[in-house]
């Protein structure tokens, strides 16, 4: 079975046997149908898929593709992407879900009632939940037009906005006005604004401003701290609304947190999320999952195949690998294979209580 997790910034692909053995994996670029168009976005998945299959020595179509994709936010989008992936001939059957559901699946038990809520805060922000009887709670998560606030890209622009206004006198003073240009080796905000406008600092580097924001906030800057506090509130309000919709506020329920911003476990953000959840959803059990989300896509594939317990244990378990998961140089903490297939490596799930 072929598991695909395609986010805005990167794509991970893994070929997995029904016994839980990881046969081959690869990493590719971001998956952005709104920019490239759906057909081109699926086309852009092809190199990573081909690499994963080649590393596994696989030829011909596999049994199933389990694809968890960013920007698959509406049923029509899921259906369209399902058709496009099916047309590639990679597998006999295809299932497409939103990528937030990969994080949720990775954080839930493999047996019993799959109930919980996940919040992804990476390049953007999204939330999804599953309740009793298979009920679901979702958000469109299309940015400001659907009421969203936050994610690494949004935080970077927010930090830049406050820094620009602080520098020219329109806004409150903040150390961001010095820290942001310094990060790019520039003397001040006018030079950074010009460099961004003229493309001397490329678009792909704008995300670097989010870690600067957290560092400035950790040093006590009031403006930066207020932005981080707002991000915590947005994470918690999404989780709480999803729990309420699913009638899960009154029972212990996993709230799975992931994505690059939350997985970094910035103390200010992490502590505020935990505090606010304890106030608004006291029964919620927050946990940060740092396993590669493609694990969730692979677990969905095992679910569909009706796999037995050893398959889940093999997929999740094992000791740490000496080699990086995915492309060379990408560390992730999956494990060396010892279950029969040459080069096979099971995943390792990193789950940390908040």
263-276 per-residue burial string, b: 16 or more CB within 10 A, e: under 16: bbebebbbebbbeb
Q: What is the pTM of this model?
A: 0.86
Residue 352: per-residue pLDDT: 54
Q: Which of 293, 277, 268 lies closest to 234, judged by CA?
A: 277
Residue 324: per-residue pLDDT: 29
Residue 113: per-residue pLDDT: 80
Cα–Cα distances in angstroms (integers) from residue 217 to residues 25, 181, 187, 225, 234, in the given order: 37, 16, 21, 5, 17
Beta-bridged to residue 91, according to DSSP, are: 62
Taking the C-alpha atoms of residue 181 and residue 190, their distance in angstroms, rounded to an integer, is 9
Residue 88: per-residue pLDDT: 96
Taking the C-alpha atoms of residue 98 and residue 71, their distance in angstroms, rounded to an integer, is 7
Residue 72: per-residue pLDDT: 93
Assigned token pair, 178: 């010095």
74-108 per-residue burial string, b: 16 or more CB within 10 A, e: under 16: eeebbebbbebbeeeebbeebbbbbbbbbbbbbbb
Interstrand relation of 22-28 and 253-258 (parallel, antiparallel or unpaired): unpaired
Q: Which helix (H) or strand (E) holds 2?
A: strand 2-6
Taking the C-alpha atoms of residue 199 and residue 321, their distance in angstroms, rounded to an integer, is 40
Residue 354: per-residue pLDDT: 54
* Terminal alpha carbon distance of the chain: 33
Beta-bridged to residue 315, according to DSSP, are: none
Taking the C-alpha atoms of residue 302 and residue 305, their distance in angstroms, rounded to an integer, is 5
Which residue positions in the chain have pLDDT lower than 50? 318-351
Residue 227: per-residue pLDDT: 98
């Amino acid at each position: 079975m072929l598991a695909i997790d395609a986010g805005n910034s990167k794509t991970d692909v893994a070929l997995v046997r029904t016994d839980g053995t990881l046969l081959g994996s690869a990493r590719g670029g971001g998956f952005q149908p709104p920019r490239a168009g759906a057909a081109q976005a699926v086309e852009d998945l092809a190199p990573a898929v081909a690499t994963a299959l080649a590393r596994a020595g696989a030829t011909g179509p596999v049994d199933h593709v389990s694809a968890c994709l960013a920007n698959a936010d509406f049923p029509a989008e899921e259906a369209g992407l399902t058709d496009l992936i099916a047309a590639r001939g990679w597998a006999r059957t295809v299932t497409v879900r939103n990528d937030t559901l990969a994080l949720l699946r990775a954080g839930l038990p493999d047996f019993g009632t799959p109930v919980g809520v996940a919040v992804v805060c990476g390049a953007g922000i999204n939330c999804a939940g599953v309740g009793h009887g298979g009920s679901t709670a979702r958000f469109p998560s299309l940015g400001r037009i659907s009421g969203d606030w936050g994610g690494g890209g949004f935080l970077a622009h927010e930090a830049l906005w406050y820094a620009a206004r602080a520098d020219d006198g329109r806004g409150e003073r903040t150390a961001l006005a010095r820290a942001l240009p310094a990060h790019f080796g520039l003397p001040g905000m006018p030079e950074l604004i010009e460099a961004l406008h003229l493309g001397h600092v490329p678009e792909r580097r704008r995300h670097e401003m989010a870690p600067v924001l957290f560092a400035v906030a950790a040093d006590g800057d009031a403006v930066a701290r207020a932005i981080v506090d707002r991000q915590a509130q947005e994470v918690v309000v999404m989780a709480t609304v999803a729990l309420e919709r699913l009638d899960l506020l009154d029972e212990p329920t996993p709230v799975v947190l992931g994505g690059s911003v939350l997985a970094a476990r910035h103390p200010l953000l992490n502590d505020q999320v935990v505090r606010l959840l304890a106030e608004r959803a006291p029964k919620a059990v927050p946990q940060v999952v740092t396993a590669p989300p493609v694990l969730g896509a692979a677990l969905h594939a095992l679910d569909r195949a009706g796999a037995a317990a050893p398959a889940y244990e093999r997929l999740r378990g094992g000791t740490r690998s000496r080699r990086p998961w995915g492309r060379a140089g990408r560390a992730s903490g999956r494990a060396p294979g010892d279950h029969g297939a040459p080069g096979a490596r099971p995943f390792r799930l990193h789950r940390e209580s908040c």
